[in-house]
Chain A
Amino acid sequence: MLLLIAPTQLFAQSSTIDIDRLQRATVYIMQTENVGTNLLVTCVSSGTLLSRDGLILTNAHSTVPSQTCRGETLIVAMTTDVSEAPVPQYRAEIAQADIGIDLALLRITQELDGRLVDPTSLSLPFVELADSQTVKLDETVTVLGYPSIGNEPISSVRGIVTGFVFEPRNNDLGPAWLKSNAEIPGIMSGGGVYNQQSQLIAIPTTAPISASSGGTANCVAIQDTNLDRIVNASDYCVPTGVFINALRPSNFARPLLRAASLGLTVATSTPSAAAISATGTPTFKRLFFAAAVNPAGMPSSVISSLPAGSNSLYLFFDYENMTPETVYELRVTTDGIPNSTFSLSPVRWSGGAKGMWYIGNGGQPWPNGIYEFTLFADGVASPSQKLVIGVAPSTEPVFSDITFGLLDSRGQPQGNGFVLPAGNIASARFIYRNLENGLNWTVIWYLDGTEIRRATDAWNAGSSGSSVNTSIEVAEGLLPGSYRLELYIEDRLRATSDFTIAGAQEGALPQIFTQLRFTTANSDADALTSNAVSNFPGGVNTLYALFDWSQISPTTLWTLRWFVDGVAFYDQTVPWNNVQTGSNFLVRLSAAGGLPDGTYSVELRVNNVLLQKAQAQVGIGQLPIDRFARASGVQLRGRILSADTREGIAGVTVIVISEQFSVSDFTWNQDQIYDLAITDSNGTFEISRPLAYTTDTLTVAYSAIVSAQGYLPLTADGIEVTAETPNPLNLTIYLNKD
């Protein structure tokens, strides 16, 4: 057979990136609204297929119905010819979405005409997620997406990674944003950013600002939506966004992908985790800078300048009235000139309604200059803050590294640092440098934004030291809630940190969440009385996690994380919205077809401090292996021609037999097949599952059968591909008449 196979087209590859596969896996998504018998396009975006059965990663702002994008039907268009515009093929539904981080996973559910799609019958090209924490500065990236509202073919943009933006989210995921110098049109939002191994490292993201919120919306009217036979400004327009410089790292998509691919759904049955509600105008205030943050997301100290060569800077600020649909933006100027490298294009808000936040830039040196930082919420600017970089190392007095705890008998603070149990006293310890005795310093304590204690004193602890303690003591007890400490020297803020008081005291540690356990039941009510179980039979449909809680103030942010086999599939930080103390908080984990076998665990956190963790096993305690999970390898495609007529033969079966079997071993059993394809009306076929590479240490040899009634069958053993094999591998196969 190998003699009959002639590569017809060897693609010149300028790099190892499998651009053909990536282009095919990139889809164009139209959110549409049903108006009479018409579907009107309300929002558009690009997306990327992450599984062969039709899971698509894209932005939430353009797919989840909202004020800006009000449509309810999602149409998926695909590139069937890379030189042409995408062609609508399927309808999709939202499988998982996180509005704040602006990611959504769609699932193809219907053909374009509305017929249901059997996911197992799909065999679509898809890409793998990279670990976005491995991305390096100056790494070359390729961005794929659709640059216009469906008029143009797929486009690719090249650039390099120019920086990393950090925000106070799950630190395990790495930076909140990657920055790139690639010029990415706003309409490519939701597409894919790839490394040189053809793995998805990020999603280009920018959110349009809602016109109704007072911002300036970039919007294009393309349809006569009000049926007045004129397309003008009175018609509904499709948002296009602005140029993108923020890339959401792929690690943020992993929990969504894991939950969607396993069909897992988490719901809190006890009324909590309420949607964040805001009643006023989104506001930013109290902007200040820090050179570093601690694991709880608090500033190490407050700075007003940085020495030359500094490569990390964090802008801290307080926020109020924010919602997941609020669009915020950071504009930075250097010596009065806009600096896109350190700016952040408009993106969705991923914090809570109220609190302290930071935007940090790390990984690249900051050039000397006077920087001005201005934050925008829904297009409205907040007061800006300036910082000088390039000054001599500071000799100003410094307070830094505040931690909180309860003092032991030796005066040493004990505890986890940022979550204290309810009691009469809370202590803080901090480091000081460059001080002089006699300087006035001030301590201010706040509870939920209200000042509760202030003290000013003359400094008497010397020039520098590792620690000084300051405490707040309230005879009637410190109420549970969110506290803040500010340290001033001569009326200038030098250090600040937030902490939480919650839970009963056990030693120096808070007992906020207790009795975390699992059970299963037919209903939520039954679950409250069921016995705790840690081993469940395979196929169980619903698993409940229950816990008791103690002394949590409403609005205290808490985090619920679910893992399966050590990989997170649910991660939500929401304000507590329940009574302060109670029992049997119920969290339901379910899957329509039964929970897959695996080891499931739950974590409960406050201020990123792990407070409770429990684990349960379903079935054999390990997820089944997904044999279609790999996307790398050589794509086999080609044409089957009649040796007599040289014309393509339609409907011919091309079977690639799994590497464990040869043609002689093949017993025409589906289990022995690696993948198969059937030729179209031109005789063209595609094996959708990529062939694995043979390497120096591993030989992967496939067998193949080409079978068509009326023609002599062709068989071959020992088909191997290597890194040097053209990808995709195009074959022309001639069949002789029987």
Chain B
Amino acid sequence: MIYIESTSDNPELSFRQRWNHYLAVVVVIVCIIIAVNLRDAALYAVTSYTNSTVGISALYPRNWLINTTGDYVFRVQDMSRVGFKTTIQVGVQAVSTNTSTRNIVDALTLNRSQTLAAYRSLPADNNFILPDGTIATEVSYTYTAINADPFLETIPTVVRGIDIITIKRGQAVIITFLTDSESYEADYDTFSRFLDTLEF
């Protein structure tokens, strides 16, 4: 058996080797930046929605399912989410000059308490400033959601929701965010980005 031993008397790198190292580091950094950008592009990709009749436009996460046939202007849901499907919904209600935001909040609370299991308003309604400077009211609540199919075995999920309500141009705009309470903090960023793009 033959053994070949290679040794160097001079441990210092040559100029060319040094620059090769620098170049490799730069390439890695650039690749990381590109990867992060690609990830962000995929993660934060959006689709636009415009409803000229109601006067609302927004950018919502790409590949979220949009529904415009309910009693709301539009609703988007993250259908790839395992468990409760994170939901953002925008609705409008007719109001009179005597209708206050508090009236809208009360009506929502009363209606939801009849349809949602274990519905509970969370304390403290807060003022919320929308990106265009409009002052709105923010309401938090929780309830439990369960698959409506009676033939399936489903364990209820605790859902945390936020309503942001403002009255503008003779109608109340209600922006609703619903998500699994366990992922609330992480998902709120998505909602924030949505609010940033919302115009009405």
A688 interfacial by beta-carbon distance below 8 Å: yes
Given contacts A113-B117, A115-B116, A670-B69, whether A78 and B151 have CB atoms under 8 Å apart is yes
Bound-state Cα–Cα, A599 to B111, Å: 35
Interface positions, chain B 19-66, Cβ under 8 Å from A, are 47, 63-66
A684 interfacial by beta-carbon distance below 8 Å: yes
Inter-chain contacts of A87 with B (CB < 8 A): 150
Given contacts A669-B66, A670-B65, whether A653 and B152 have CB atoms under 8 Å apart is no
A708 touches B117 (CB 8 A): no
Would you give the shortest CB distance from B73 to chain A, in whole angstroms? Answer: 13
A548 interfacial by beta-carbon distance below 8 Å: no
A213 interfacial by beta-carbon distance below 8 Å: no
* Partner of B153 from A113, A116, A653, A681 at Cβ < 8 Å: A681
A668 touches B64 (CB 8 A): yes
Bound-state Cα–Cα, A651 to B83, Å: 4
A651 touches B63 (CB 8 A): no
* Partner of B149 from A116, A649, A677 at Cβ < 8 Å: A677
Would you give the shortest CB distance from A20 to chain B, in whole angstroms? Answer: 11
- Which of A65-73, A118-126, A225-233 binds B? A118-126
For B74, the closest partner residue in chain A by CB is A670
* Partner of A118 from B115, B147, B153 at Cβ < 8 Å: B115
B80 touches A115 (CB 8 A): no
Would you give the shortest CB distance from A477 to chain B, in whole angstroms? Answer: 61
A80 touches B151 (CB 8 A): yes
Would you give the shortest CB distance from A669 to chain B, in whole angstroms? Answer: 6
Bound-state Cα–Cα, A669 to B68, Å: 9
Bound-state Cα–Cα, A678 to B151, Å: 12
**Contact string against A for B residues 134-151, beta-carbon threshold 8 Å, 1 for contact and 0 otherwise:** 000000000000011111
B150 touches A80 (CB 8 A): yes
Size range of the chain B interface in the assembly: 20 to 34
* Partner of A115 from B65, B115, B147 at Cβ < 8 Å: B115
B82 touches A650 (CB 8 A): yes
Given contacts A115-B115, A669-B65, A671-B69, whether A686 and B80 have CB atoms under 8 Å apart is no
A684 touches B153 (CB 8 A): yes
Inter-chain contacts of A123 with B (CB < 8 A): 148-149
A670 touches B147 (CB 8 A): no
A581 interfacial by beta-carbon distance below 8 Å: no
Interface positions, chain A 671-690, Cβ under 8 Å from B, are 671, 673, 676-682, 684-686, 688
Inter-chain contacts of A393 with B (CB < 8 A): none
Bound-state Cα–Cα, A322 to B81, Å: 62
A652 touches B82 (CB 8 A): yes
A710 interfacial by beta-carbon distance below 8 Å: yes
Interface positions, chain B 61-106, Cβ under 8 Å from A, are 63-70, 79-85
Given contacts A115-B114, A121-B148, A680-B147, whether A708 and B80 have CB atoms under 8 Å apart is yes
* Partner of B83 from A122, A650, A682 at Cβ < 8 Å: A650
Extra A-B contacts (14), CB below 8 Å, given A651-B84, A655-B79, A707-B79: A80-B150, A115-B114, A115-B117, A122-B148, A651-B82, A653-B79, A668-B63, A668-B66, A669-B65, A676-B79, A680-B149, A681-B154, A685-B152, A709-B81
Residues of B within 8 A of A (CB): 47, 63-70, 79-85, 114-117, 147-155
